[in-house]
Structure 1
């Protein structure tokens, strides 16, 4: 199992540009396989990966995830091919559909049939990256426009990689099947190891639907990790980020992370913390997250405990574990990258 490092939402961690660069370079020095940057309504992850391509020499560069509603699929393909050229073939295109808050509130688009949109989107991105003339007709996308002056065009720059990896961020059963059917990797967020093992069967179902093999497919869960001898302190450091995801990362009617917590058996706690978070009572929301849920959705505690949890992810089928680190300072984050690498060795 390889290690990846998540920058999360660049700009939200209280670190400056030079400090983030130092963390990525240290991850590369320690043997981390990849670095990933997320997208909400702040910094653009593709721009950051292009910048980091010139600051690094080996580590793979991924988006986790670029929002499909934010870019036309051919624009995403152009971006991916460009960064792949700049980096010498190190780019990984992580895509996701986001949720109604961002799709409708930030991009001004209806949140409708996300899986149908995602299928059309990935198909067109794949065609463009393969430098095929773009001629496509799907339920949500037709290129060129019929009865128009449009013509079939071909991406004028090829990626370095013969098949540039496309990853899909997915939490629900059908979206996981879609990853197995169309993508080269799956990016689940805050997934427990046991739940990961249960869901790999969905990947196989998707692959079978497409008549393809999952050989070389990258199962790459993103999990917050904190190595600390004081388990209670570790729990408390994990709770604020979990409260944000489970309570505020989505609307009251549709929060995919909150739904995941409910599926894991924490329906009452998920409801309580979401209600508190959306009402502006963040402290109450943080306190509502039980130790057991923190344990399932993160990896934290003394080194021996962290080693056991890393082993559990490996045995559950993870081929890359993308770790997020939570300490507030550069020195502490650098220490965590080193200690996590030691625990994984």
Structure 2
């Protein structure tokens, strides 16, 4: 599967059907290779993938991520096979263990240890059919153990909220021949204070989740830098901001570190599709 050099990651729960179609037209029309979407409290992952595939022509559509507690492994494999067969092999199944509030608080399941839970799920996917799965299976991997599992039993990884240093580490663990599709938040904005304010608002939901906090600490950020909305150094690392060339240089740092694909998340005011589309235009050749 060709993911293309650049893709777009979008919090699709914020968009209705018309908004999703407009996003697809913009992303596809500007030459991006893949559209990635999450699974949170709104749209169900597989149903949404079907809509996105049906309303696009050439884009790869990737779940980033489908929650393993939302459907059993057999169903996940059948979903991958179904979407791949009906839409020209354009679906990539990104899987993740999600977070305790999304699993225990929202769904009422027990949140198991992440690596054993994912290993058992991948075993179930293999057991659900003969031979390799019908399309790529990628893992939301941050720590070295989950990355090692992605190297051994999946087609690669889709890290989120990371830096080029993490990308370098991930590439080393995954090894050659694996997909390393890295998410990076971006904000083309000359006013640094405004860009940081938008970044802090976007990151607030993640800064209470241990999976991300622990990874940021592993990457060298201090506990103090993660307090009160995050230090300027932390925010600038998580959200590339400035003029288009500065942002492009930040994206290229991920490729230099070993990423095979970078998916940009466009940080704007809520509903500011004009700013979103302008950023898509400006970064399409990064």
Answer whether TM exceeds 0.5 for this pair: yes
Report runs of 4+ in structure 1 exceeding 4 Å deviation: none
Report what 1:57 is aligned to: 57
Q: Does 1:298 align with 2:239?
A: yes
SS, match of residue 56 in structure 1: coil
Report what 2:253 is aligned to: 312
Listed one character per residue, the Cα deviations across residues 282-324 of structure 1 (whole Å, up to 9, x for unaligned) are xxxx3xx211101222222112211211111110111111111
Tell me, in whole angstroms, the C-alpha distance in 1 between the residues paired with 2:42 and 2:248: 34
- Could you tell which deviates more after superposition, 84-93 or 258-267? 258-267
Aligned-residue offset at 1:162: 7.4
SS, match of residue 77 in structure 1: helix
Tell me, in whole angstroms, the C-alpha distance in 1 between the residues paired with 2:283 and 2:127: 38
- Computing the radius of gyration from Cα coordinates, the structure with the larger value is 1
Please report the TM-score for the alignment, with normalisation by the length of structure 1: 0.76
Report what 1:338 is aligned to: 281
Please report the TM-score for the alignment, with normalisation by the length of structure 2: 0.91
Aligned-residue offset at 1:127: 4.0
Report what 1:157 is aligned to: none
**Aligned match for 2:216, one of 261, 264, 270:** 261
- When the two chains are superposed, the root-mean-square deviation of aligned CA atoms in Å is 1.9
Report what 1:11 is aligned to: 13
Tell me, in whole angstroms, the C-alpha distance in 2 between the residues paired with 1:222 and 1:336: 16
The runs of 5 or more residues in structure 1 that have no matched partner are 133-160, 205-213, 274-285
Tell me, in whole angstroms, the C-alpha distance in 2 between the residues paired with 1:18 and 1:82: 25
Report what 2:146 is aligned to: 175
Q: 1:162 to 1:170 in 2, by over 3 A?
A: closer
Report what 1:155 is aligned to: none
The runs of 5 or more residues in structure 2 that have no matched partner are none
Listed one character per residue, the Cα deviations across residues 8-34 of structure 1 (whole Å, up to 9, x for unaligned) are 2x233xx43212211122111111111
SS, match of residue 284 in structure 2: helix
Tell me, in whole angstroms, the C-alpha distance in 2 between the residues paired with 1:45 and 1:70: 9
**Aligned match for 2:170, one of 199, 218, 227:** 199
Report what 1:325 is aligned to: 266
CA contact (8 A) 1:62 1:94 kept: yes
Tell me, in whole angstroms, the C-alpha distance in 1 between the residues paired with 2:207 and 2:215: 9
SS, match of residue 300 in structure 1: strand
Aligned-residue offset at 1:123: 2.4
Tell me, in whole angstroms, the C-alpha distance in 2 between the residues paired with 1:101 and 1:31: 36
